[in-house]
Structure 1
Amino acid sequence: MENKRVILAVALSFVVLLGWQFLFPQKPQAPVQKQEPVKQEQKASQEKPVASGESVFSEPMSTAAIVSAKGTKITVDTPLYTAVMNSQGGLLESFVLKNFKETIEADSPNVDMVGKNALNKAPMGLILNGIATWKEGVWGYKGSNLNLSGNNAGTIVFTGDVEGFRIQRRLTFHADNYLIDEDVRVLNAQNPSAEGRLAFTTATKSLSAEGDRYNPTRISYYDADGLSEKNSRDDLKEEGVMASGDISWTAIDSNYFILALLPRSKDVTVKGRLQDNIFRVAAEKNVELNKGVQRELGCSYYFGPMDTKFMSKVPGDLVKAVNFGWFDIIAKPLAIALDWFHQYVHNYGVAIILLTIVIKLLFWPLSHKSYKSMEQMKKLQPMMAKLREKYADDKEQLNKEMMQLYKTYNVNPAGGCVPMLLQIPVFFGLYKALLGTVALRHADFIHYLPFTDIVWLADLSAKDPLYITPIVMGATMFLQQKMTPSAGDPTQQKIMMFMPLIFTFLFLNFPAGLVVYWMVNNILSIAQQWMIHRTKA
């Protein structure tokens, strides 16, 4: 097989991979396999199994609504966020992140991890034996508004009497992290002794646009089998997510933000569902509620960015929520490298260019060998043409003669495509890193088109709104192809000439940072080929 055919096959494969990513973004496999243990657990505790399509949440939870004026609002202010709690049950009314805006507009509001519509689903509400404690109980609190700084922590205590139970919720907030720790004490003061169920919950609006295929809002959990997640809205509405056992955490998350529950008891049942366009999760624990006996349970919450700097300090392996799929092993080092460059240049666009140069230098020897191999293949074209003419009716003999020709002149027909093959995983790794690294969300490169007030590359995680970079990228690809030694029959050459056009079309909606990487890589490849031609001359 001649060199050009190999390169053509690689290029076409690359186009197929890109097209597949563009048209059919990978969806995580639904954790169906976890359902059977849940049913067994329910049977053991004599709970009613959840049928297909039935809500995994108790009825009070799906119908309860709160009136925020019923309780006193308590504010927790830190350098990272401002949270508003409601004394009626200790509900979370809002959790506004100070370092993240909804859009790149100057007057954009900060990201609220709860959202007004989610308030009716009771974020951080406790459910005891199916009772919505924030709705049925009489509550008070101890403490006041918190204003935390440095590495300080502050605590608010909520106490309520709920149908014969005394509940105390002790919430500890940290100034240097998005972590909230909760200690719950439940005293059965009046009810007969029995086994009960206590569920920690949270809820939020969708963390991304409903039709966003590249950044869906998911419900996930992490257990001994690893990460499981589901992002199909239809499935989350009809079936939801349910699993039991040694579960470290459950969460509502997107590429950039996460609301996680981290129960301290591992033997729990986690549940998730999409109701009224609000995502909800719960972590439920069976507990003995003997009369006159006080029980203690604990849970932590993390409401904030998918930032490993903070998540690595959170218990329960929450950092495993940052996952780039198949290319995780490549994407994470690339994200780290981008952060390293950024701390010196303070611009992620420049950091991407520097990373591209480093990657190109690493591949330089292979690329150099590749171009030389293509030059050698070009020299063999007259002899190869004679062999095709001589053995036009005998394909098997033609292949043997071709292989002998390559062997005689010490030419590797696949040598020209090795660098391309090696760069494909790097490309997709960077693609995943750009789509899933919160530091690159709204990262600015060249905010305004030079000499104008037109917003241009103000968000490297989004497409180029003016389509300038993909067009330039296509032009550099065309120029690079014109400089590459031509081989193969005329039909293959014509197909190859369409590649820049196909790539340009595919790159139109890709993150601008990825297009910048590929464009700079093409420019460096052109410079390398020019140097090789100049050396020959």
Structure 2
Amino acid sequence: MDQNRTLLAIALSLAILLGYQYFFVPPIPQDQQQEGQAPHGEQTAKGEAPATAPSPVSTAPTAPGTLAVTVDPEARDITVDTPNYTAVISEQGGTIKSFLLKAYRRGIKQDSGPMELAPSDNPGNRPLAFSLDNAATSSLPRYTADNAQSHLEVEQGTGELRMTTTLPNGLEIVRSMRFSADSYLIPVEYTVNNTGDAAVQISPALIWHHQPFPHENPPSSYLFAGPEAWVNNDLVEIKEKALLKGPVLHQGAISWAGYSDSYFLTACMPGSEGPQTLSVQAEGTGQRSVLSGGVRTLEPRGSAQFSYTLYMGPKKLTMLQAAGHDLSRAVDYGWLTVIAQPMLWLLNFFHSFTHNYGVAIILLTIVIKAVFWPVTQKGMKSMKNMQKLQPKITKLREKFKKDPAAMNREMMNLYKTYKVNPMGGCLPMVIQIPFFFALYRVLMQAIELRHAPFMLWINDLSMPDRLWLGFDIPWLHGLPVLTLLMGASMFLQQKMTPTPTADPTQLRIMQWLPIIFTFMFINFASGLVLYWFINNLLTMLQQYLINRSVKA
């Protein structure tokens, strides 16, 4: 295949791959364009939590697949307040009623409220239920807190919440939860005491109910959101299509299991190193995970301990790496990880002294361009040389149009005579494609860009850019200024680049590419569009220098 067809194939392949994302990103809501950006990481008022009232004696309504729970009117809500989050623990089953992140909001508006990682109103459909019969029954006993206070303040160091319940069969469960002022990790330990005179068989299981996190502007549906786990050194993503067929089972070494989307993660890590079983099934509008460790016998007057560690927080790679338990595997870049993680590190490094992720993206783009500058230089010069040979190539095609073998032989002799590599302009593009897609994944998944402003109208680098004009533009709502600038730069870059083909059909197709890319990028994250725009400007500069040196 000659260079012309190879270049065209690469360009069209890239267009198709990027177009896939285009069709899976919803149009940007209008209200986001009219709200300024508050500083990233702004915290809510200390101790903020939803007001609660004593629950009446009733059976809570349920969606199909959820538990019907008789609510104890004396069950209290215990509020735990740390610098990072406000958690509400219900004595009804000891489950997590609410978990609000102080440093992250649901939407870009300052009054959108803190991000909720336990979004369920049903007592039978909340995280952190514990069972001793492998979740076979649906009862949620009342866990009574050790003290009469309903508020635990953890401003520094750690704080502990102890809760106790006694089951109808005489088994006593004492649960301890430790909260840290500087961490999203929550160690949980269950001590089961057999107060009877007979041995009892138990099958401990932790039950976690998942609901989608309530983003006001949901992440791209192209990226996975749902139950996932790290099982036998492999990331398992349990998709909705699989759950429609019935419960999904995984057994073996389970480092963690939970629910994840692009930006946040709730996960449970078993303390036991033995084999575990994870069962996930659809439940109403969400999913239900059961993490169990097998059957064991509890002797009379004996006791057993079962420990877990919870993580409920942002999918920030540095935090997950520090947490251990393979949690960092939740930030999945696939086979591009070896390229993507250094790019993310560089992005955060530049942000550490610029304090603006838009500027950090620009600096990262410059670094990537500088690394590939020599390779791109050779490719551009090769295309320039190929352009000079076009008249000779055209004559050969006319002369040997009925003898393709002879035409190819003469063209190879022509390339050898003028020391031109027909693939010279193509290879630099091929080499850079993995790096582009690695950066693409980083900019789409990095929680650092969520609600991070750049300048002027760009107030969220994780969302498409829109400039509000005071009136609604159908489907777009606002004007995609940065995207239009990117398209214009691509058009100008194309005009400056030597044309290595004389085929009018291929030329017309190539001329349409700036328009095609502009439409595809309309709903891309503005951080990615910014990268592509700056990259185009740098490529134009490089082409200008090459053109000037050739003329000289």
Length-normalised TM-score, structure 2:
0.84
CA–CA distance in structure 2, aligned partners of residues 14 and 208 of structure 1: 33
> Letter of the aligned partner of 1:245 in structure 2?
G
CA–CA distance in structure 1, aligned partners of residues 81 and 445 of structure 2: 28
> Letter of the aligned partner of 2:293 in structure 1?
K
* Pair 1:128 & 2:137 matched: no
Unaligned runs of 5+ in 1: 26-59, 449-455
Identity %: 40
**Shift in alpha-carbon separation, 1:138–1:472, aligned structure 2, 3 A:** closer
CA–CA distance in structure 2, aligned partners of residues 397 and 407 of structure 1: 15
CA offset at residue 127 of structure 1?
1.4
CA offset at residue 167 of structure 1?
0.6
Q: Which residue of 2 aligns with 1:80?
A: 84
Q: Which residue of 2 aligns with 1:453?
A: none
**Shift in alpha-carbon separation, 1:322–1:262, aligned structure 2, 3 A:** same
1:288 to 289, 293, 297: 297
Q: Is the 8 A contact 1:206 1:279 kept in 2?
A: no
CA–CA distance in structure 2, aligned partners of residues 403 and 118 of structure 1: 73
**Shift in alpha-carbon separation, 1:208–1:3, aligned structure 2, 3 A:** farther
CA–CA distance in structure 1, aligned partners of residues 20 and 413 of structure 2: 38
1:218 to 203, 226, 240: 226
Deviations 1:439-466 (A, max 9, x none): 11111112x4xxxxxxx32111112233
Q: Which residue of 1 aligns with 2:190?
A: 184
**Shift in alpha-carbon separation, 1:378–1:169, aligned structure 2, 3 A:** same
Q: Which residue of 1 aligns with 2:61?
A: none
Length-normalised TM-score, structure 1:
0.87
CA offset at residue 2 of structure 1?
4.0
Q: Which residue of 2 aligns with 1:205?
A: 211
* Pair 1:494 & 2:476 matched: no
2:256 to 213, 235, 249: 249
* Pair 1:273 & 2:281 matched: yes
**Shift in alpha-carbon separation, 1:188–1:281, aligned structure 2, 3 A:** same
CA–CA distance in structure 1, aligned partners of residues 4 and 303 of structure 2: 76
CA offset at residue 226 of structure 1?
1.2
Deviations 1:158-199 (A, max 9, x none): 111011211110111111111111111112223842432111
Q: Which residue of 1 aligns with 2:172?
A: 166
CA–CA distance in structure 1, aligned partners of residues 17 and 134 of structure 2: 48
Q: Which residue of 1 aligns with 2:523?
A: 509
**Shift in alpha-carbon separation, 1:481–1:137, aligned structure 2, 3 A:** closer
**Shift in alpha-carbon separation, 1:417–1:191, aligned structure 2, 3 A:** farther
* Pair 1:485 & 2:494 matched: no
Q: Which residue of 1 aligns with 2:237?
A: 229
Helix, strand or coil at the partner of 2:121: helix
CA–CA distance in structure 2, aligned partners of residues 250 and 277 of structure 1: 19
Q: Which residue of 2 aligns with 1:48?
A: none
Helix, strand or coil at the partner of 1:382: helix
Q: Which residue of 2 aligns with 1:45?
A: none
CA–CA distance in structure 2, aligned partners of residues 9 and 113 of structure 1: 44
Give the RMSD, CA atoms, in angstroms. Answer: 2.4
Unaligned runs of 5+ in 2: 26-63, 467-478
Q: Is the 8 A contact 1:345 1:351 kept in 2?
A: yes
Q: Is the 8 A contact 1:3 1:374 kept in 2?
A: no
Q: Which residue of 1 aligns with 2:318?
A: 309
- Once structures 1 and 2 are overlaid, which stretch shifts more, 169-178 or 328-337? 328-337
Helix, strand or coil at the partner of 1:117: coil
**Shift in alpha-carbon separation, 1:516–1:110, aligned structure 2, 3 A:** same
Q: Which residue of 2 aligns with 1:18?
A: 18
CA–CA distance in structure 1, aligned partners of residues 143 and 482 of structure 2: 58
CA–CA distance in structure 1, aligned partners of residues 340 and 543 of structure 2: 28
CA offset at residue 157 of structure 1?
0.7
Q: Which residue of 2 aligns with 1:445?
A: 454
> Letter of the aligned partner of 2:113 in structure 1?
P
CA–CA distance in structure 2, aligned partners of residues 130 and 226 of structure 1: 25
Q: Which residue of 1 aligns with 2:399?
A: 390
Q: Which residue of 2 aligns with 1:416?
A: 425
> Letter of the aligned partner of 1:206 in structure 2?
P
CA–CA distance in structure 2, aligned partners of residues 206 and 407 of structure 1: 61
Q: Is the 8 A contact 2:21 2:222 kept in 1?
A: no
- Once structures 1 and 2 are overlaid, which stretch shifts more, 209-218 or 82-91? 209-218
* Pair 1:8 & 2:8 matched: yes
> Letter of the aligned partner of 2:345 in structure 1?
I
**Shift in alpha-carbon separation, 1:66–1:254, aligned structure 2, 3 A:** farther
Helix, strand or coil at the partner of 2:519: helix
CA offset at residue 435 of structure 1?
1.6
1:196 to 179, 197, 202: 202
CA–CA distance in structure 2, aligned partners of residues 207 and 153 of structure 1: 27
Helix, strand or coil at the partner of 1:19: helix
Helix, strand or coil at the partner of 1:103: coil
CA offset at residue 271 of structure 1?
1.9
2:487 to 474, 487, 507: 474
CA–CA distance in structure 1, aligned partners of residues 212 and 70 of structure 2: 20
Q: Is the 8 A contact 1:118 1:205 kept in 2?
A: no
Helix, strand or coil at the partner of 1:104: coil
Q: Which residue of 1 aligns with 2:349?
A: 340
Q: Is the 8 A contact 1:207 1:217 kept in 2?
A: no
Q: 1 or 2, which has the higher helix percentage?
A: 1
**Shift in alpha-carbon separation, 1:162–1:68, aligned structure 2, 3 A:** closer
Helix, strand or coil at the partner of 2:227: strand
> Letter of the aligned partner of 1:458 in structure 2?
N
1:365-380 residue pairs with structure 2 within 5 A?
Answer: 365-380=374-389
Q: Is the 8 A contact 2:91 2:142 kept in 1?
A: no
Q: Is the 8 A contact 2:22 2:521 kept in 1?
A: no
Q: Which residue of 2 aligns with 1:148?
A: 154
Q: Which residue of 2 aligns with 1:114?
A: 118
CA offset at residue 3 of structure 1?
3.1
Deviations 1:421-445 (A, max 9, x none): 1221111111111121111111111
> Letter of the aligned partner of 1:159 in structure 2?
T
CA–CA distance in structure 2, aligned partners of residues 69 and 235 of structure 1: 39
> Letter of the aligned partner of 1:173 in structure 2?
F
Helix, strand or coil at the partner of 2:101: strand
CA offset at residue 136 of structure 1?
5.1
Q: Is the 8 A contact 1:70 1:88 kept in 2?
A: no
Q: Which residue of 1 aligns with 2:31?
A: none
Deviations 1:276-298 (A, max 9, x none): 21333221122322332111111
Deviations 1:5-55 (A, max 9, x none): 322122112112222444479xxxxxxxxxxxxxxxxxxxxxxxxxxxxxx
CA–CA distance in structure 1, aligned partners of residues 406 and 219 of structure 2: 55
Helix, strand or coil at the partner of 1:115: coil
CA offset at residue 138 of structure 1?
4.7
Q: Which residue of 1 aligns with 2:306?
A: 297
